[in-house]
Amino acid sequence: MASGDQRALLVAYLKEGDVRARDRLVEELMPLVRSLANRYAGRGEPTEDLVQVGAIGLVKAIDRFELEKGVELSTYAVPTIVGEIRRHFRDRTWGVHVPRRLKELSMRLSRTRDELSAQLGRSPTVAELAAAVGVDEEEAIDALEASKAYAPRSLDQPYDDDEPGRLPGLADEERGYAALERGSVVRQGLDALDERERRIVVLRFLRGMSQSEIALEVGISQMHVSRLLRRALEEMRGRLEEPEVPA
C-alpha cells in the first residue's frame, strides 16, 4: 500500500473517527505483525496467540499515532507490537510460577472480600479475610498479591469467576471522558485503554468512586476492579523499558 493511502486512512480515523479506516489499516499491516510474531515463535507460546497480541499492539500504535510527526506508521508501530509480544511472554512466565494452590486460595479470598464488605459495610482487614477462609495472614497476603501481580494478561480472560461481558452504562462515563481535552495527558492515557479499563479509570479518578463502589456498579469483584485499575495505570504510564524475553 502506498504510504499516501495509509496517511489518508490515518486521517480518516484520527481526525474523523472513521473506525472502518482503522480496520483497513490493521488489515494492511497484519503481515508486519505476523512477521514480527514469527520471530518469537518456538518459545513455548502458540504463534497465533503472538499474532493476536501483536495485533493489539498495532491497534494501540494506530490509536496513538501522531500525524504531525511525519513518520511512517509501520516504523512507528514496530516497537509497540514487539512491546506487546514481549509483555505477553513476561506475563505468561509470571503466571506459570504461581502454584495452583495460590490461585484457588486467591479466588476464595476474592469472593470473601466481596461478602465481608457487604456484611461489614466496609472493606475487611487482612486478619478478617484470613480468618474467614481459614489460613494465616501471610498466606492470605501471598495469595492476594499473587492474583494481582502475577495474573497472566490474557486478553479478556478474567482470573477469577467474574463475568466479562459487555458493560452497561458506558455512554455516561464516555461523556466525562470526552470532556477531557484531546491531547491532555490523562486523555492520552485513557486512549491507550480498552473500553472496560477506561470506564473503571473514569469512575475511580474522575468520579472519585471507591473500588468497592465500582465493583458494585460494574458488577465484577473488587479484586477484578483492582486488577483492571492496576493494568490500566500501567498502560497509561506507558512502558519505558520492556523486559527481556526469556530465551
Q: Are 224 and 232 in contact (CB under 8 A)?
A: no
| 103-122 residues near other proteins, rule: CB under 8 A | 113, 122
7 vs 90, which CB is nearer to other proteins? 90
Residue appearing with cell numbers 513518520: 71
The region of 32-40, 41-49, 160-168, 206-214 touching other proteins under the rule CB under 8 A is: 206-214
User: Least distance from C-beta 60 to other proteins, angstroms?
Assistant: 18
Q: Are 157 and 88 in contact (CB under 8 A)?
A: no
Size of the site for other proteins (CB under 8 A): 46
Residues contacting residue 10 through CB under 8 Å, at least 6 positions apart: 21, 25, 62, 65, 67, 73
33 vs 146, which CB is nearer to other proteins? 146
CA distance 238 to 192: 9
CA distance 205 to 185: 14
54 vs 189, which CB is nearer to other proteins? 189
User: Least distance from C-beta 75 to other proteins, angstroms?
Assistant: 24
21 vs 146, which CB is nearer to other proteins? 146
145 vs 195, which CB is nearer to other proteins? 145
60 vs 113, which CB is nearer to other proteins? 113
- The cell numbers describing 224, all together, are 477484578
User: Of 34, 47, 239, 245, which lies in the binding site for other proteins, with binding defined by CB under 8 A?
Assistant: 239
26 vs 141, which CB is nearer to other proteins? 141
Distance of CA 202 to the CA centre of its chain: 15
Distance of CA 84 to the CA centre of its chain: 11
Over the window 32 to 71, marking each residue x when it contacts other proteins by CB under 8 A and - when it does not, the resulting string is ----------------------------------------
Number of Cβ within 10 Å of residue 201's Cβ equals 24
The angle at the Cα of 237, spanning 113 to 67, to the nearest 5 degrees, equals: 135
Residue appearing with cell numbers 482487614: 125
Say how many residues make up the chain.
247
| 119-178 residues near other proteins, rule: CB under 8 A | 122-127, 129, 137-138, 141-142, 144-146, 148-150
Q: Are 70 and 44 in contact (CB under 8 A)?
A: no
Is residue 237 a contact residue for other proteins (CB under 8 A)? yes
Applying CB under 8 A, which residues contact other proteins?
90, 93-94, 97-99, 113, 122-127, 129, 137-138, 141-142, 144-146, 148-150, 184-186, 189, 204-205, 208, 210-212, 222, 226, 229-230, 233-234, 236-237, 239-241, 243
